[in-house]
């Protein structure tokens, strides 16, 4: 393997992130790398992943997974399922490099292409035939005893959940500094429009088109008459207060990063200061994507009258 500096001397460089635990990802990574190198585009990967991939010696490697490892890269190509794509989103947000996702999992709303589209992906990267859009994120702050004890962010959602299976989490919800309601529940999901098709969707929340700027608050198995999903302004501040008499809770951000919430903890969620940039290959509407991803029945549709 060559040092990163050799790869950086090329005119163009793409960073590749793959779920190397999947045979399909290994084969897909090999095809993408070969296609890019044939076109004179340098490729860089993490050293830990390079050991599992059949890569030619001209592929550059970096040891540490830091935002700086994408320095000089024009694009981050991610091969994998939703978990790998969310891992890629962490790199994309921290570095500002656009992420192009190839879905090797099940639903893959963050992905722009499927496994069968690898040739098209390579061609679009080589010809720069893609557009970049920004997806809204959320910033998350955890308070305990008046002190800030944790800061985080999410592309999809921040979920406050019970830690103990046998006892509910007692919470009070707040929007823009005013209390809304309180109840016992399994948890609360605070989501972005991007995350509306992820955990929030599973909890019964609405599907929100990505271009809509809004924040969502979706209860999980709440014991209350008023426990409906709420959709607020993107400038609102959402808060979930864990009651003093309730068991410990836990905060999950994008299902990847977690912190324990003691009784009395307060979780505040607001629009993130740094978006995630996604590379787009298609101009297909979100409606078509929704129908395709969930295999929705649309037979019998005749279209709008002319």
Order of strands across the sheet that contains 215-220:
230-232, 215-220, 187-191, 157-162, 249-253, 257-261
**246 annotated ligand-binding residue:** no
| CB proximity list for 273: less than 8 A, separation 6 or greater | 139
**96 annotated ligand-binding residue:** no
- Buried-exposed string 100-129: b where 16+ CB fall within 10 A, e elsewhere: bbbbbbeebbbbbbebebbeebbebbbeee
- As a dihedral over the C-alpha atoms of residue 12, residue 109, residue 249, residue 265, rounded to 10 degrees, the angle is 60
**103 annotated ligand-binding residue:** no
**201 annotated ligand-binding residue:** yes
**198 annotated ligand-binding residue:** yes
**202 annotated ligand-binding residue:** yes
**167 annotated ligand-binding residue:** yes
**197 annotated ligand-binding residue:** yes
Closest CA to 58 of 79, 42, 46, 82: 42
Q: Catalytic pick from 3, 52, 71, 82?
A: 82
**83 annotated ligand-binding residue:** yes
**157 annotated ligand-binding residue:** yes
Please confirm, yes or no, whether 119 is among the known catalytic residues.
Answer: no
Residue 96: left if φ>0, alpha if ψ -120 to 50, beta else—which one?
Answer: left
| CB proximity list for 169: less than 8 A, separation 6 or greater | 160, 161, 162, 163, 184, 185, 186, 187, 242, 246, 247, 249
Whole-angstrom distance between the N-terminal and C-terminal Cα of the chain? 61
Give the annotated binding-site residues for NAD(+).
82-83, 87, 156-157, 167, 186, 197-202
Annotated binding site: 82-83, 87, 156-157, 167, 186, 197-202
Tell me which residues are annotated as active site: 82
């Amino acid at each position: 393997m060559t040092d990163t500096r050799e790869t950086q001397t090329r005119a163009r460089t793409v960073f590749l992130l793959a779920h190397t635990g999947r045979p399909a990802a290994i084969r897909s990574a090999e095809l993408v790398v070969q296609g890019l190198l044939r076109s004179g585009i340098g490729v860089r990967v993490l050293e830990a992943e390079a050991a599992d991939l059949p890569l030619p010696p001209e592929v550059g490697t970096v040891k540490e997974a830091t935002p700086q490892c994408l320095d000089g890269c024009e694009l981050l190509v991610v091969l994998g399922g939703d978990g790998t794509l969310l891992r890629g989103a962490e790199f994309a947000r921290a570095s500002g490099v656009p992420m192009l996702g190839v879905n090797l999992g099940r639903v893959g709303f963050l992905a722009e292409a499927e496994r069968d589209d690898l040739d098209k992906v390579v061609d679009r990267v080589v010809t720069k035939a893609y557009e970049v859009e920004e997806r809204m994120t959320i910033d998350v702050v955890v308070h305990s005893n008046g002190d800030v004890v944790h800061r985080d962010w999410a592309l999809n959602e921040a979920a406050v959940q019970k830690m103990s299976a046998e006892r509910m989490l007692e919470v009070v919800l707040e929007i823009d500094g005013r209390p809304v309601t309180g109840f016992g529940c399994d948890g609360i999901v605070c989501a972005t429009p991007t995350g509306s098709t992820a955990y929030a969707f599973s909890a019964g929340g609405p599907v929100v088109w990505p271009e809509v700027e809004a924040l969502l608050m979706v209860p999980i198995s709440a014991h209350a008459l008023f426990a409906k999903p709420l959709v607020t302004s993107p400038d609102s501040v959402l808060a979930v207060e864990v009651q003093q008499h309730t068991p410990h809770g836990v905060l999950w951000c994008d299902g990847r990063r977690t912190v324990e919430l003691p009784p009395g903890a307060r979780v505040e969620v607001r629009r993130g200061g740094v978006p995630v940039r996604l590379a787009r290959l298609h101009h297909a509407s979100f409606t078509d994507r929704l129908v395709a991803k969930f295999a929705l029945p649309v037979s019998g549709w005749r279209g709008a009258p002319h």
